[in-house]
Amino acid sequence: MARKPSGKIQKEKEIMTKKKRYCYTFEEGDGTNKKLLGGKGAGLCSMTQIGLPVPPGFVISTEANVDYLEHDTFPEGLMDEVHEYMEDLEKKTGKGFGNPEKPLLISVRSGSALSMPGMMDTILNLGLNDETVKGMIALTKNERFVYDAYRRFLQLFGKIGLGVKDEGFDEIFEEIKKKYHATVDTELSAEAMKEVCERFKEYIKKETGKPFPQDVWAQLYIAIQGVFKSWMGKRAVDYRRQFNITPDMAHGTAVNICTMVFGNMGKDSATGVGFTRDPGTGENVLYGDYLINAQGEDVVAGIRTPRPLRELKTDMPEIYKELVKMRSILEKHYREVQDFEFTIEQGKLYMLQTRNGKMNAWALCKTSVDMVKEGLITEEEALLRIDPDMLEQFLHRRIDPDFKQEPLAVGISASPGAATGKVVFDADRAEQLGNQGEKIILTRVETKPEDIHGFFAAQGILTSRGGKTSHAAVVARGMGKPCVSGAEGLDINYELKEARVGSVVIKEGDIITIDGTAGVVYLGAVPMLDPDLPKDLKTLMEWADKYAKIQVWANADTPEMAQKAREHGAMGIGLCRTERMFNEADRLPLMRNMILADTPEERKHWANKLLPMQRQDFVEIFRAMDGLPVTIRLLDPPLHEFLPTIEELISDVNRLREFSQIMHALEQLPGTVAMLDPELSKQIPSIESMIREFAEYRAKGLDKKLLKQKEKVLRRVRVLHEINPMLGNRGVRCGISYPEIYDMQIQAIFEATAIALREKIDARPEIMVPNVCTVQELVWVKPRVENIHKEVEKRYNVKIAYKFGTMIEIARACLRAGRIATVAEFFSFGTNDLTQGTFSFSREDAENKFLPIYNTEKILLHNPFEILDELGVGRLMQIAVTEGRETRPDLKIGICGEHGGQPQAIEFCHRIGLNYVSCSPMRIPIARMAAAHAAIKEKKGVAPVARAL
Ligand code: PEP
Ligand code: MG
């Protein structure tokens, strides 16, 4: 396998042969080109170029990986290039690859354009074999250290390069630790480490049928291949799917080849990870963990619990000073909080990686505001740092501060928020139970990247080892899930599926609560509170509103929701679903009666009973939204939503009939029994008294009346029954069929406005008609609105301003928008129904019937009820906007389907010129942020990402 380096200079070769180039030294790579060099590679190049101490190395581009995966072989010329770059590395370090006297050891690390922590593979200490080990011992005079490095390499190489099972290595290592009575690896002697190496080699041979490759070039070849393949490894693929990482965002991994430096060369060596600011609070302080005499993987994997970086100030004051200096160099260069890895080798500091720090929403907000104040970034940049969806983390619950109870265990506050769930000790089981809808706390000694599916399924993560930068902490923080790490009082036994804390035993399935903000664990469920929005968010929201063009309104059906919407900064109500006001127990029967009425008079009777309730709710909503528009939609949903099902009614009717028969039989009973068995008849008096009570009830005819009522309802429900209620007599169709309902609602709206105006509330109603497909429907409704308006104005002696508009949620309405705008003063896209109609997918069934398979088969990449289908539904919207505004240039247009709170859809709505989006009150901050992003990105000329479904 050993091939001699060609010795040609790469650039010359490139010019001469015009062959594709795959390798870049850290000095020459373009640090801004993450797509080509991966985030890690780009970071190493940038750090080298801004003068930070990075060990020499080079990057194999992502293009090489893509080519490799396509053809299942290295691209032509790649290995020649690698040889040349290795030769260059040998020159820079003065060492030789495979040279037994002065061995060059390298790390082979993965790294794609987007950070996917721990999802792909990395091999350290490559270049060690039985010969170079001797050279290393001679050079370092530290046999233990060298064998430690060798065993680490054998394990990683065996696992990643040769596909040998990791557990086998762990078992051997544990066996040897036991043999030498060592509790931690640092207690193993050189001899013991040597023994580990021998055993590891035997294990590799046993598992692969071949000896471990001593040829360093063969090692390199296999290692590059292993890293390349890890792009398609299960956990990497799962991760990309979960976070919607598409090929246009990250395509393939780069391979970073870097000279090894060692943090495990004694007490003057260390390894650590740092953040330029605290990623939990956003505080402007150097933050991180380190371990003396250890390699990077020890910190990240959480195998040993590291020490906080501030203690380095006393351990190694000079290095600490250097790190503080680097912190500001990094932030000035990147204008972003950095998350970096470093190693101290015998008193010398090396930077091994930097990337934008993943922070929780709290820290993101604080650092954004602080960095603007410090003059490091602009307001617009501060806003763009915040992924709108991240603000959802503020929605996480926290433990009621009044709750006082001794925690079961104390650990590290690794990711904020609190969660209650059943303890589950492995990721597969967590996934299984999570899919069944169970709430889970994934509880592990430490987590590894292969546990990622368990994270997705869990409400929170609990580990007994590891610090704030352990795998569990980093991943949970990124996902916005609560995590307590390093709860060392927890003694977890996977075999018995239990954890012990002193005398308390927690079994799988027991309920616990974790508080990731405080770093504590409680037994059982504890009271929780909804969180408040942090102070910095207010500033950011003010900035967001300053830049946003599209407004954010709320979908709010009740006064309480309106209040919440206003608190969150809604500029109006874009959808008040009037039917939702009748969901409460005391209102539903009235609503049912109105729907079930046989005659207009009867319907009017029930409608009049509903009127005062509806009117009062409107007054309260107007009060909450004083001075802002309130769009009230006339009754829309298919009526069956309010009615009992035919099956329920049949069973009720049958039960009532049986009851009548039983009563009849009971009445005969005393006489019959007296004749047949005089003894038994002594017991009859109790039955007789029961019969007397029922007889009274029957005498009044109540049983028959009830039966009749039920039978009537059943008949009516049968009449109203529709095969396809979603496409049936709903919305304006129902309003036209039963005008008393709309009349009542219109009257309630105007009367509420009049009452509010009298109270000096600036009420601004906008009446919206749902499910319109032709302008003629509006032409039918409008005069009724005008008449009632006139009547109420006269009766209350007030002037009432209002708007009359329509939902656009039927495909035909989009195509006839020009005509519809002759009557409608505003449009609001109901993209829930519009999506249903455009795809002919039932919005009630598609998501749990065929859509999942459409997604896995990649027929559709997303659920169109969640992600707006810009190409289809969006196209219809665009037609409606253009043609509607041709008729009425000042036509106000919004969206109130679920997509109105979804950032990409908001960007699309901004682009096609909508005036507002309307979403649920809790999503308002997200929508405001997304609205600002849309405007800023447009200004900066950032091309929108095409949303293929
Ligand atoms: C819609 O269809 O998008 C809409 C907002 O109305 P609903 O969901 O109430 O049908
Ligand atoms: Mg609708």
Tokens coding 580: 């939702």
How far apart are the CA of 583 and the centre of ligand 1, in A? 17
Summarize pLDDT for 848-885 with one digit per residue, the tens: 678 879 988 989 988 899 899 999 999 999 999 999 99
Q: Which of 807, 835, 877 to mutate to test the pocket of ligand 1 (most atoms within 8 A of CB)?
A: 807
- Among 344, 506, 515, residue whose Cα is nearest residue 423: 506
From the CA of 579, the nearest ligand is 1
- Does the beta carbon of 725 sit less than 6 angstroms from any atom of ligand 1? no
- Does the beta carbon of 831 sit less than 6 angstroms from any atom of ligand 1? yes
Locate the ligand 1 atom nearest the alpha carbon of residue 896 and give its number. 5
Q: Which of 579, 733, 809 to mutate to test the pocket of ligand 1 (most atoms within 8 A of CB)?
A: 809
3-state SS class at 891: coil
pLDDT at 9 over 60: no
Residues 899-923: what's their mean pLDDT?
A: 94
Summarize pLDDT for 292-312 with one digit per residue, the tens: 988 766 665 556 778 999 999
Please name the residue whose Cα sits nearest to atom 10 of ligand 1. Answer: 833
Tokens coding 529: 């509170």
Q: Which of 530-534, 670-674, 725-729 has the highest mean pLDDT?
A: 725-729
pLDDT in the model for residue 949: 65
pLDDT in the model for residue 848: 66
Residues 456-476: what's their mean pLDDT?
A: 82
pLDDT at 8 over 80: no
- Does the beta carbon of 833 sit less than 6 angstroms from any atom of ligand 1? yes
Q: How far apart are the first and last CA of the chain?
A: 46
pLDDT in the model for residue 880: 98
Sorting pLDDT into bands at 50, 70 and 90, what band is 55? very high
pLDDT at 931 over 80: yes
Summarize pLDDT for 633-672 with one digit per residue, the tens: 999 977 777 787 888 889 988 988 888 888 778 777 777 7
Task: Provide CB contacts within 8 A for 681, sequence distance 6+.
Answer: 670, 673, 674
> What's the one-letter identity of residue 791?
E
Locate the ligand 1 atom nearest the alpha carbon of residue 809 and give its number. 2
Sorting pLDDT into bands at 50, 70 and 90, what band is 5? very low
**Residue 155 or residue 846, greater confidence:** 155
The full 3-state SS of 327-394, as one line of letters, equals: HHHHHHHHCCCEEEEEEEECCEEEEEEEEECCCCHHHHHHHHHHHHHCCCCCHHHHHHCCCHHHHHHH
- Does the beta carbon of 897 sit less than 6 angstroms from any atom of ligand 1? yes
- Among 411, 407, 404, 446, residue whose Cα is nearest residue 426: 446
pLDDT in the model for residue 18: 57
- Does the beta carbon of 289 sit less than 6 angstroms from any atom of ligand 1? no
- Does the beta carbon of 579 sit less than 6 angstroms from any atom of ligand 1? no
pLDDT at 781 over 50: yes
Phi, psi values for residue 522, rounded to 5°: -120, 150
Q: CA-CA distance, 743 to 763, in Å (whole number)? A: 20
* Identified catalytic residue from 197, 258, 896, 919: 896
- Among 558, 538, 544, 560, residue whose Cα is nearest residue 906: 544
Look up 862 and say whether it is catalytic: no
Q: CA-CA distance, 22 to 82, in Å (whole number)? A: 9
pLDDT at 723 over 80: yes
Q: Which contiguous run of DSSP H or E holds residue 501?
A: strand 498-501
Residues 536-546: what's their mean pLDDT?
A: 95
From the CA of 901, the nearest ligand is 1
pLDDT in the model for residue 43: 96
Summarize pLDDT for 616-641 with one digit per residue, the tens: 999 999 999 999 999 999 999 777 77
Locate the ligand 1 atom nearest the alpha carbon of residue 828 and give its number. 5
pLDDT in the model for residue 233: 87
Report whether 103 contacts 436 (CB < 8 A).
no
Summarize pLDDT for 226-283 with one digit per residue, the tens: 999 999 988 888 888 888 888 888 889 999 999 999 998 888 999 999 999 999 889 9
Tokens coding 185: 């690896």
For residue 807, CA distances in Å to 518, 637, 774, 830, 832 come to 47, 13, 12, 6, 11
Residues 464-492: what's their mean pLDDT?
A: 80
How far apart are the CA of 808 and the centre of ligand 2, in A? 9
Instruction: Judge if pTM exceeds 0.95.
Output: no
Summarize pLDDT for 333-360 with one digit per residue, the tens: 999 999 999 999 999 999 999 999 988 8
- Among 24, 117, 100, 104, residue whose Cα is nearest residue 62: 24
Please name the residue whose Cα sits nearest to atom 1 of ligand 1. Answer: 830
Tokens coding 926: 């997200």
Report whether 386 contacts 358 (CB < 8 A).
no
> For 5-9, 330-334, 500-504, which range has the lowest pLDDT when averaged over its residues?
5-9
| Arithmetic mean of pLDDT over the chain | 90
pLDDT in the model for residue 615: 97
Q: Which of 896, 914, 919 to mutate to test the pocket of ligand 1 (most atoms within 8 A of CB)?
A: 896
Summarize pLDDT for 171-223 with one digit per residue, the tens: 999 999 999 998 877 788 999 999 999 999 999 999 999 999 999 999 999 99
pLDDT in the model for residue 824: 98
- % of the chain with per-residue pLDDT over 90: 67
Summarize pLDDT for 407-430 with one digit per residue, the tens: 999 988 888 789 999 999 999 999
How far apart are the CA of 830 and the centre of ligand 2, in A? 5
How far apart are the CA of 796 and the centre of ligand 1, in A? 33
CA 595 to chain centre: 41
How far apart are the CA of 833 and the centre of ligand 1, in A? 6
**Residue 702 or residue 940, greater confidence:** 940
Look up 23 and say whether it is catalytic: no
Q: CA-CA distance, 340 to 329, in Å (whole number)? A: 12
Report whether 306 contacts 289 (CB < 8 A).
yes
Q: CA-CA distance, 342 to 340, in Å (whole number)? A: 7
Q: CA-CA distance, 924 to 446, in Å (whole number)? A: 37
Tokens coding 415: 């990711």
